[in-house]
């Protein structure tokens, strides 16, 4: 029975719990049993809150018994990336500098999923402070890809992606600064969504780069991802960058199809540096869209080639400012020393890992006197030109399609000592972050070695409805191929 429950979609669980066919506690117990045995070789979770999960599930069952609405995610287990503040639960950003820190408040998204009846199972592993593309930069050990445990799950939200891919939970939340939801979704073979910047509140997200960070869902299928997105999206007065009107509804339009849509295949992301198997799968995906009634054309996005360079100036610059708060004074780790200045140096030396230190130094240099205009200022100008490039494309196209990643999952340890190669893993995903546009990764078959391939769908700001319509068509085609 427990295996049957774990195999259910989030939508099916919510419907079964709301109708009384399943109890929320019953669902929680089945998933906790699976997590207890299934996470040992994966390490998707840093903190499993079993007692809290059973208590929250009990509250859902009590609400149903009292005749109250249990919410759209009634009894659905969910994992939370460890940079989302969760009251009473250690929230570390997978860093020694925050080891043991317990927030006194919940992030807005945590509040929203709980109000919708979801049951939190704990905090998922990640690259330290969301800086990485493999979840090998966690201070508490790497997460392994459930499709092949010798390989990385991607990052920085690798724990959230792996938890869903391994059927430990049907839903999870991650954050995406330069691809940190979409890239691990592609490598683990699940759906991952980066919403429009400002569509989902960042209140309670421990910041990496504030103008780029966005919270979004992981799910096993497009319908579950759409449901979770609708639950977490919407205006939040606690976030000054929150969009007043939120996003258009997506769940009710998943079956609208793509007939008449105009699709652009990004030519510059289909050549050098992209594995041939991945490029082939993406071309198969656009062929599916053509057969479904969309018109497809190749589009040249000339500034995409500069996106990686601009990102690795803007994001580290913002990180160097945001992470200055971790100084051993107010919270987290403190390494005692004779003076305050020496204490701060000793604390940060011991508390931050090498990748975080690398990016802090890069960002501090880019913001320093004499270099600000040449580096940070120029990068922001490039960002504006990229936004203009997108705007020009969307004058005659509804969505853009590309690979999500240049390769499928690579072996643990293979790239960790080569920062430049690691940074290139985000070459397909970064442009949407710089523009603030929505983008998502949908599984679409496998490469020659049997590893998952993700197709990326990009849309203009607040274009989630159209983006999900395209995703639903690709998902149906991929599932039909597997069934055949």
Report DSSP state, residue 148: B
CATH 1.10.565.10 describes domain 2-253: no
What pLDDT score does 483 carry?
Answer: 59
DSSP string, 326-380: -SSSSSS-----SSHHHHHHHHHHHHS-HHHHHHHHHHHHHHSTTTTIIIIIHHH
What pLDDT score does 99 carry?
Answer: 93
446-474 mean pLDDT: 98
At residue 86 the predicted structure's pLDDT band, cuts being 50, 70 and 90, is very high
Rounded Cα distance between 18 and 136, Å, is 39
What pLDDT score does 47 carry?
Answer: 97
Domain residue spans in the chain?
2-253
- Answer yes or no: are the C-beta atoms of 127 and 146 closer than 8 Å: no
179-200, pLDDT tens digit by residue? Answer: 999 999 999 999 999 999 999 9
What pLDDT score does 484 carry?
Answer: 56
CB burial of residue 260 (10 Å; 0-12, 13-18, 19+): exposed
Question: Looking at the predicted structure, is the pLDDT value of residue 337 above 60?
Answer: yes
What pLDDT score does 71 carry?
Answer: 97
What pLDDT score does 331 carry?
Answer: 85
What pLDDT score does 330 carry?
Answer: 87
- Which residues does the annotation mark as catalytic? 81, 156, 180
Looking at the chain, the whole-number percentage of residues with pLDDT higher than 70 is: 99
56-70, pLDDT tens digit by residue? Answer: 999 999 999 999 999
351-392, pLDDT tens digit by residue? Answer: 999 999 999 999 999 999 888 889 999 999 999 999 999 999
114-124, pLDDT tens digit by residue? Answer: 999 999 999 99
Rounded Cα distance between 94 and 116, Å, is 27
- Please name every residue paired with 151 in a beta bridge, in sequence order, or none if there are none: 411
Is-above-0.85 flag for pTM? yes
Rounded Cα distance between 25 and 61, Å, is 7
175 closest CA partner among 145, 234, 141, 130 = 130
What is the average pLDDT value for the chain, to the nearest integer?
Answer: 96
What pLDDT score does 482 carry?
Answer: 63
206-256, pLDDT tens digit by residue? Answer: 999 999 999 999 999 999 999 999 999 999 999 999 999 888 999 999 999
115-164, pLDDT tens digit by residue? Answer: 999 999 999 999 999 999 999 999 999 999 999 999 999 999 999 999 99
What pLDDT score does 460 carry?
Answer: 98
Rounded Cα distance between 476 and 482, Å, is 10
- Answer yes or no: are the C-beta atoms of 454 and 186 closer than 8 Å: yes
What pLDDT score does 419 carry?
Answer: 87
At residue 1 the predicted structure's pLDDT band, cuts being 50, 70 and 90, is low
463-473 mean pLDDT: 98
* Measured distance between the N- and C-terminal CA atoms of the chain, rounded to whole angstroms: 28
What pLDDT score does 369 carry?
Answer: 84
Record the tokens describing residue 85, joined without a space: 């503040």
What pLDDT score does 3 carry?
Answer: 76
Rounded Cα distance between 454 and 399, Å, is 16
SS3 labels along 252-298: HHCCCCCCCCEEEEEHHHCCCCCCHHHHHHHHHHHHHHHHCCCEEEE
Record the tokens describing residue 410, joined without a space: 């690579």
359 closest CA partner among 448, 422, 431 = 422
At residue 31 the predicted structure's pLDDT band, cuts being 50, 70 and 90, is very high
């Amino acid at each position: 029975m427990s295996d049957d429950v774990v195999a259910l979609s989030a939508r099916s669980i919510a419907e079964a719990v709301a109708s009384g066919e399943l109890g929320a506690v019953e669902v929680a117990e089945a998933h906790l049993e699976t997590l207890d045995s299934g996470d040992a070789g994966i390490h998707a979770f840093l903190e499993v809150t079993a007692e809290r999960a059973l208590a929250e599930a009990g509250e859902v069952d009590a609400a149903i018994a009292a005749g109250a609405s249990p919410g759209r995610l009634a009894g659905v287990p969910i994992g939370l990336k460890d940079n989302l503040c969760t009251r009473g639960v250690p929230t570390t950003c997978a860093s020694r500098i925050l080891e043991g820190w317990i927030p006194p408040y919940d992030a807005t998204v945590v509040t929203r999923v709980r109000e919708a009846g979801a049951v939190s199972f704990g905090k998922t592993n990640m690259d330290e402070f969301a800086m990485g593309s493999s979840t090998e930069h966690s201070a508490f050990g790497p997460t392994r890809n459930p499709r092949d445990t010798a390989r990385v799950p991607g990052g920085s939200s690798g724990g959230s992606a792996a938890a869903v891919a391994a059927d430990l939970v049907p839903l999870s939340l991650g954050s995406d600064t330069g691809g940190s939801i979409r890239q691990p979704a592609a490598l683990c073979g699940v759906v991952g969504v980066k919403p429009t910047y400002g569509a989902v509140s960042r209140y309670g997200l421990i910041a990496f780069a504030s103008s780029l960070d966005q919270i979004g869902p992981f799910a096993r299928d497009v319908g579950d991802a759409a449901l979770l997105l609708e639950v977490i999206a919407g205006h939040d007065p606690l976030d000054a960058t929150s969009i007043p009107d939120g996003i258009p509804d997506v769940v009710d339009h998943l079956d609208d199809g793509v007939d008449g849509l105009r699709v652009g295949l990004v030519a510059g992301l289909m050549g050098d540096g992209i594995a041939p198997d991945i490029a082939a799968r993406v071309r198969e995906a656009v062929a599916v869209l053509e057969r479904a009634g969309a018109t497809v054309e190749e589009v040249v996005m000339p500034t995409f080639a500069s996106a990686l360079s601009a990102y690795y100036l803007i994001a580290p610059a913002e990180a160097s400012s945001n992470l200055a708060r971790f100084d051993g004074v107010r919270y987290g780790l403190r390494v005692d020393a004779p003076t305050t200045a020496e204490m701060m140096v000793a604390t940060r030396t011991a508390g931050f890992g090498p990748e975080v230190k690398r990016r802090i130094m890069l960002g501090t240099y880019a913001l320093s006197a004499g270099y600000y205009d040449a580096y940070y200022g120029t990068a922001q100008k490039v960002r504006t030109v990229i936004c203009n490039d997108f705007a020009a494309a969307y004058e005659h196209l509804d969505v853009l399609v590309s690979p999500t990643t240049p390769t499928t999952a690579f072996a643990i340890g293979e790239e960790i000592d080569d920062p430049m190669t690691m940074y290139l893993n985000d070459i397909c995903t970064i442009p949407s972050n710089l523009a603030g546009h929505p983008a998502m990764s949908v599984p679409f078959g496998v490469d020659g070695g049997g590893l998952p391939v993700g197709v990326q769908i990009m849309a203009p700001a607040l274009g989630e409805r159209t983006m999900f319509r395209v995703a639903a068509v690709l998902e149906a085609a991929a599932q039909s191929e597997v069934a055949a």
